[in-house]
Structure 1
């Protein structure tokens, strides 16, 4: 971690509960470093902070950003730290034999800032994402679910192990997981193939022109894979008794 010069730990930060925000610049460009920065203040200063005209840096001109940075440096009610990751380091990590992707580099930088500020003695009362993850209330009621989730980032070994421990060959993952992320795909190479009787009527069938068919789901449809379905001849078993008993059918239009 390459640090720019920053002020010593403010006395108030070691006595009052604090808030901290983290942001990055330069994740997308082909030139220059990627920089992660954090700013923290006492919770009691939060209302005042909203009046200081800080906003999304992309909406500000360079001169405005310079002025705000100068005002930040002399504001004794605000503390800050930065991590400057040079292009050489980015290239070396992303191109070495055991590659480190940009998400993992970003995660390590952000967590490094959190650790550094905590080591300085700052009382961070709200690291909101970590708290939300730690206290997550599951919609699922399955037994044997644990919360050794790690950070939740793809490169974290604890996170990978948690995904492995909680995958289900039919239902996938609990709702805590972002199913749309390609990270999920490798965990379901051996997922159970599901076949069910379709509600749709095949008008082209030879059985008096109308026949029910089955639909087979052969992929869970995570990012990078299209949801693969194929129609096969009906097994003759008919729809599941659960749906029959409750007279449930697929409805596309309401009259």
Structure 2
């Protein structure tokens, strides 16, 4: 699994996958869809598909694929290597959604929630498989939101396919289990090797599980916060856990045209952050200044 395209610029989404097996271009195929990293406040969400000929589904059962959440990291890695080695019958594709993309999508002017984002990503992956020449006949999906509505939505987009959407599909259908393993392995690798563009030398490197209810993750979010520029791009700043810390620790912002808003009366201008201070900064300047070659001066 070559993740270098995403690691080169982890602020952008990335689509990657295996070559399409020749048999999948000629025989009816089954395809499974699952995701990894929906809940964490840190890191990307990865959507994965895995497909193989309907006639060869028994091979997946022989590999003993299972829901990635029931496996250890070592077991997932081992199973992914077996799936990837079965290049003559199994193909996979991943869509890595950067945390930056997730947050900006959810906070855009027109509401775009995580369910809609997930649905659109799944639809895009099915279409990608079709465009790549995979002879899809059936699709199995782990549900996001009400299963019946999601299934009907997919059937409207792909009336020629047999679509099944069920809760816990990753534990019911081996092809979805395989997709779950691919997605989880990719996310784990990306999170482990995450390259921070921001200078976090004084911040603990251990950020815990990344889930909002993890005390270690909450503490890390507090430490890595820049009072003006917010969080590193590793953080999904649209999550409520991050928003609460932003509201309590970051510099308040006064927007133009809000002078009559009672809630803005005691809010300092953002410019106050740049006022001269005698005390030295506890942390190095944000990369915003380095990239623009800006330095603090005491006189002109």
TM-score scaled by structure 2?
0.42
| Higher share of residues assigned helix | 2
Q: Which has the higher contact order (CA 8 A, sep 6+)?
A: 2
